[in-house]
Structure 1
Amino acid sequence: MEKIKLAVVFGGKSSEYLISLHSAASIIKNIPNDKFDVTLVGITEEGKWLYFPGNVEEIDNNSWFENPNCCEMILSPNATLKGFVKLNKDNTFETLTIDCVFPVLHGKNGEDGTIQGLCEIAGIPFVGCDTLSSAVCMDKEFTHIVCESAGIKTAPFMSVINEKTLDIKALYVDAVSKLSLPIFIKPANAGSSHGISKIRSYEEFEAGLKLGFKHDKKVILEKTIEGFEIGCAVLGNDEIQVGEVDEIEMYHDFFDYDEKYHSTTSKIHCPARISDDLKKEAKVMAAHIYKALRCSGMTRVDMFLTPNNEIILNEVNTIPGLTSVSRYPSMVRVGLGMGYTELIEELVNLAINR
């Protein structure tokens, strides 16, 4: 059988650049070479696309772009080409036809529909949600709006655009009146909990807005939901499978960027330490969210479980962490009995057959 020509794209002009490298390195190590002909495409933090012919250790330690054999790559929007144009150092070029793109890109320029749109224009299948679904899931305001309209429980929120005429004092009074303290301030389009603040006073509100607006021109103010976080892995296109429910045990305020990737004061439990009935309810809700947002390929749905056993949507991650020990592969392994290499193959097959 002819090998599938797979382009793994990693890095990116994103605050989650390093996380992308670790996910990509893990995926590359586990791609079965007898089934896939792999082309590696790295994107530097400055946004430069490079063909990378080196080894996976260079990706993991972030020295990949120093490889002397790197050269520029362009994902061609020409749908009759369906691939990349490689600009060789001797001023020649060659075209590399691709069957599928695996964008291992987290956060901005990766999960927000931008690279998905480019792949759609180029006519190349790609792993994960399509352009529209990716863009909606990345924007916390639009995620809330779509899910609320589908009857899914979400945290009460307000959205705020960074404008010169913004009256912060009036906004604070309005937010406290509608949401009550403490309030979370979140950039609407930043991943991995970047720029999030939990505020309890006007001074913290000012600082939280300033931090949030560093990451995005729009922030959401969200009511604090008492309880703890649970998550669910969803896999598939028209027919979907739902993995095991996991639980984040926290020893401090909230699951921020450092906790997601260093876990110094948190612990992940998979399966979650909740009743079977609550697990079933969480899985049903995750599937409902997946369908409401028109997701495909994969998504990790993060939810809150309150002391009253109410399940409320937190956020949706269309390209979750994908190292072999990340939450998404773990939930798929425990819940569906699907190993890491098998998951990689399934994601590519879902992309090609979408």
Structure 2
Amino acid sequence: MSKQNLAVIFGGQSSEHEISCMSASNIIQCIDAQRYNIVLVGITKEGHWVEAADLNAVQDGSWRQSKTSIVLSPDATRKGLYRMSEDEKAQFVHLDVIFPVLHGLYGEDGTVQGLFKLAGIPFVGCGLFASAAGMDKLYTKIIVDTLGIRQAKYVPVYKEELLKMDEVVARVESALEYPVFVKPSRAGSSKGVNKAANREQLKNALVEAADNDRKILVEETIIGREVECAVLGNLDVKASGVGEILSADEFYDFDAKYYNSESKTLVDPPMPENMREQIREDAVKIFMALDGRGLSRVDFFLTESGVVFNEINTLPGFTAISMYPMLWEAQGIPKKELVQKLIDLAFER
């Protein structure tokens, strides 16, 4: 059987660039080199597409100095990319499938998925709409509201409204009690997120969030355990078990998630069985309502009064400490098998 050509695309222009490289390193090692010719495509923080020589270049960061530029062709009759050498000579490489490992802005928000769709190349993960809606916390909440699934109360704020900061603050204070969480709507899971315990902190948090996004979400604080569920599939969607985050910091922000070794993840924490099943069912419902495909991680809070939806990640982390692959490993699906399943789902779609 002849090998198929598979492109792994990583890096990107988002604040989660480094995490994307860590995720890609894990995924590359799990791809069956007997079945696929792997083309490694890195996107620098400036948005330059280059070819990485090998896994070592991905791991040590030297790929960013690559002299081989990559241009993905949007021509659906070609289905592939152009490898451009320094002398501007172009070599066309046909692609059978793409595995995007891009977290956050321009990677998880439907932007690059639209390019893949235009190019007519199968790709791993959610499509344009699900990616865009899942990345946008505000629109995810609007969709989840239609499902009757409980979630934190919220107030949407737009950057231009901050010119009348006192009016915004009054609107938030009339709807929610302190402390509140302030989040950029589309900046990824952790960047620009702050907790505000009073009016002054709220104003500062709104300004910081506005640096990351025009749309801002102000949410009530939910006191509870942070739990996560992985989903896998296209139309026949399976939910994993439920994992729990034990954050070393007050809340699970970017640094606590990736750089604080005291943060821990549990793949089979004790909890009432009915709540575990509700989380698994709600995770699938939310994924399907967003028209999800392939994979997502759905996050909840487990409170004294029940389960509360938090957010969905349509291209979850795949690092050594990431919950998504750990949850499936706990279900008897090792990383290599999981990666192959995701590739199979791309072709199936």
- Shift in Å at residue 165 of structure 1? 6.4
**Identity percentage over the alignment?**
39
Which residues of structure 2 form unaligned runs of 5+?
A: none
Query: CA-atom RMSD, angstroms?
Result: 1.3
Is it true that 1:329 corresponds to 2:325 in the alignment? yes
Q: Deviations over 1:181-209 (max 9, x none)?
A: 11110000011310011101111011101
**Alignment correspondent of 1:340:** 335
Is it true that 1:317 corresponds to 2:316 in the alignment? no
Task: Give the whole-Å Cα distance in 2 for the aligned partners of 1:74 and 1:87.
Answer: 8
**Alignment correspondent of 1:62:** 61
Q: 2:112 aligns with which of 115, 118, 129?
A: 115
Task: Give the whole-Å Cα distance in 2 for the aligned partners of 1:244 and 1:63.
Answer: 38
Change in CA separation of 1:164 and 1:311 when aligned onto 2, cut-off 3 Å: closer
Assess if the C-alpha contact under 8 Å between 2:22 and 2:59 holds in 1.
yes
Assess if the C-alpha contact under 8 Å between 1:247 and 1:273 holds in 2.
no
Q: Secondary structure at the match of 2:160?
A: coil
**Alignment correspondent of 2:34:** 34
One-letter code aligned to 1:312:
V
Change in CA separation of 1:245 and 1:164 when aligned onto 2, cut-off 3 Å: closer
Q: Secondary structure at the match of 2:150?
A: coil
**Alignment correspondent of 2:253:** 256
Q: Deviations over 1:40-61 (max 9, x none)?
A: 1110110000122x22122122
Assess if the C-alpha contact under 8 Å between 1:324 and 1:340 holds in 2.
no
Q: How does 1:61-140 map to 2 (within 5 A)?
A: 61-67=60-66, 70-140=67-137
- Larger mean Cα displacement after TM superposition, 249-258 or 122-131: 249-258
- Larger mean Cα displacement after TM superposition, 56-65 or 203-212: 56-65
Q: Secondary structure at the match of 2:163?
A: coil
Q: Deviations over 1:7-55 (max 9, x none)?
A: 0001101100100111111111221111111111110110000122x22
Is it true that 1:196 corresponds to 2:179 in the alignment? no
Assess if the C-alpha contact under 8 Å between 1:228 and 1:248 holds in 2.
yes
Is it true that 1:144 corresponds to 2:123 in the alignment? no
Q: Secondary structure at the match of 1:74?
A: strand
Change in CA separation of 1:307 and 1:161 when aligned onto 2, cut-off 3 Å: same
Q: Which runs of at least 4 in structure 1 moved beyond 6 Å after TM superposition? A: none
TM-score (norm 2): 0.97
Is it true that 1:158 corresponds to 2:159 in the alignment? no
Assess if the C-alpha contact under 8 Å between 1:16 and 1:192 holds in 2.
no
Change in CA separation of 1:285 and 1:58 when aligned onto 2, cut-off 3 Å: same
Assess if the C-alpha contact under 8 Å between 1:136 and 1:143 holds in 2.
yes
One-letter code aligned to 1:11:
G
Q: Secondary structure at the match of 1:268?
A: strand
Q: Secondary structure at the match of 1:167?
A: helix
Q: How does 1:6-21 map to 2 (within 5 A)?
A: 6-21=6-21
Change in CA separation of 1:192 and 1:165 when aligned onto 2, cut-off 3 Å: closer
Assess if the C-alpha contact under 8 Å between 2:4 and 2:37 holds in 1.
yes
Task: Give the whole-Å Cα distance in 2 for the aligned partners of 1:2 and 1:342.
Answer: 20
Change in CA separation of 1:350 and 1:2 when aligned onto 2, cut-off 3 Å: same
Task: Give the whole-Å Cα distance in 2 for the aligned partners of 1:200 and 1:173.
Answer: 15
Q: How does 1:257-272 map to 2 (within 5 A)?
A: 257-272=254-269
Assess if the C-alpha contact under 8 Å between 1:190 and 1:216 holds in 2.
yes
Task: Give the whole-Å Cα distance in 1 for the aligned partners of 2:264 and 2:321.
Answer: 13
TM-score (norm 1): 0.95
**Alignment correspondent of 1:44:** 44
Task: Give the whole-Å Cα distance in 1 for the aligned partners of 2:140 and 2:269.
Answer: 25
Change in CA separation of 1:77 and 1:325 when aligned onto 2, cut-off 3 Å: same
- Shift in Å at residue 312 of structure 1? 1.1
Change in CA separation of 1:289 and 1:88 when aligned onto 2, cut-off 3 Å: same
Corresponding residue pairs, total: 349
Which residues of structure 1 form unaligned runs of 5+?
A: none
Task: Give the whole-Å Cα distance in 2 for the aligned partners of 1:165 and 1:288.
Answer: 35
One-letter code aligned to 1:334:
A
**Alignment correspondent of 1:235:** 232
Q: Secondary structure at the match of 1:185?
A: strand
